[in-house]
């Protein structure tokens, strides 16, 4: 999960500097780069294992019926009726129902929406800062997004370190590991002040009289804060288990 979150964050960061330099050759190349990158990204999907528990149970039940023809093993998912009405009313509407009826989902979505709104506003602010103030080219301006990427990579180290600490605490029988909100939420709380620090850092130092590296360094705590704050979504995934995909689709 940590690798997935970092990869999704870094994917948006690759585009500015890649397309910034490619646009110097032709307006077509940024679009072709996106098409090629997307096509290559589809290849690993073929080799990813199934992790959705109800589907795994269906496959196991089919395997048992094949091995033992007289067996009547049935997975819970096979016993459900999946007509068009149920797909529209139950499955597709579930994220909206959870958004307005589950408090943890509602406030997580509001918080994450606020964070990602700020994050993507930076894609409009960076050209103003680094192209308008410092005179960078489109490619050079795109390279400044790598500070956010470094923050994402630092987040990966913190996540993996906390995960090891958490499992050691579980083995010790620590009382805090038995409370759902203590398992993942502390990481999100730690990321919130770093997000604010990065924004103030960039905002106060983006001046022609200050070297461009100073606001660029401010993107590191900002990227760290964005990735760390998004760890709040893991709380809903851990809490809702089977319906975690529905809760994750709300943001």
17 with 145: CB under 8 angstroms?
A: yes
> Is 70 exceeded by the pLDDT of residue 251?
no
Q: How far is CA 153 from CA 69, 137, 156, 226, in A?
A: 51, 26, 5, 12
User: Residues 228-248: what's their mean pLDDT?
Assistant: 63
Domain limits at 176? 2-48+102-248
Is 7 among the domain residues?
A: yes
Range of 13-17, 68-72, 124-128, 158-162 with top mean pLDDT: 124-128
Is 71 among the domain residues?
A: no
> Is 80 exceeded by the pLDDT of residue 81?
no
Is 57 among the domain residues?
A: no
Question: Considering its fold, how many domains does the chain have in total?
Answer: 1
Cα 247 from Cα 97, distance rounded (Å): 10
pLDDT band at 55 (very low <50, low <70, confident <90, very high): confident
Range of 1-10, 126-135, 222-231 with top mean pLDDT: 126-135
User: Residues 85-97: what's their mean pLDDT?
Assistant: 73
58 with 77: CB under 8 angstroms?
A: yes
Cα 241 from Cα 87, distance rounded (Å): 20
Q: What is the pLDDT of residue 181?
A: 65
Q: What is the pLDDT of residue 26?
A: 84
Q: What is the pLDDT of residue 209?
A: 92
Structure tokens at 21: 């330099």
pLDDT band at 135 (very low <50, low <70, confident <90, very high): very high
Is 79 among the domain residues?
A: no
User: Residues 79-107: what's their mean pLDDT?
Assistant: 75
Is 129 among the domain residues?
A: yes
Is 92 among the domain residues?
A: no
Cα 171 from Cα 169, distance rounded (Å): 5
Is 121 among the domain residues?
A: yes
Is 225 among the domain residues?
A: yes
Query: Could you give the maximum distance between any two Cα atoms of the chain, in Å?
Result: 81
pLDDT band at 103 (very low <50, low <70, confident <90, very high): confident
């Amino acid at each position: 999960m940590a690798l997935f979150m970092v990869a999704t964050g870094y994917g948006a960061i690759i585009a500015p500097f890649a397309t910034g330099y490619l646009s110097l050759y032709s307006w077509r190349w940024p679009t072709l780069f996106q098409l090629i990158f997307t096509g290559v990204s589809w290849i690993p999907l073929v080799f990813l294992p199934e992790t959705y528990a109800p589907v795994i149970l269906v496959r196991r039940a089919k395997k048992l019926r094949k091995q033992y023809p007289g067996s009547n093993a049935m997975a819970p998912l096979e016993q459900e009726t999946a007509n068009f009405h149920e797909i529209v009313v139950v499955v597709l509407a579930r994220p909206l129902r959870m958004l307005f009826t589950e408090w943890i989902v509602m406030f997580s979505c509001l918080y994450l929406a606020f964070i990602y709104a700020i994050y993507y506003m930076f894609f409009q602010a960076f050209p103003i800062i680094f192209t308008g103030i410092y005179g960078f080219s489109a490619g050079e301006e795109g390279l400044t997004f790598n500070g956010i990427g470094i923050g994402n990579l630092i987040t990966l180290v913190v996540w993996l370190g906390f995960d090891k600490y958490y499992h050691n605490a579980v083995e010790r029988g620590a009382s805090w590991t038995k409370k759902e909100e203590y398992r993942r939420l502390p990481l999100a709380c730690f990321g919130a002040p770093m997000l604010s620090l990065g924004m103030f850092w960039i905002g106060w130092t983006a001046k022609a009289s200050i070297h461009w590296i100073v606001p660029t360094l401010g993107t590191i705590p900002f990227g760290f804060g964005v990735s760390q704050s998004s760890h709040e979504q893991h709380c809903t995934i851990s809490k809702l288990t089977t319906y975690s995909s529905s809760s994750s689709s709300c943001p």
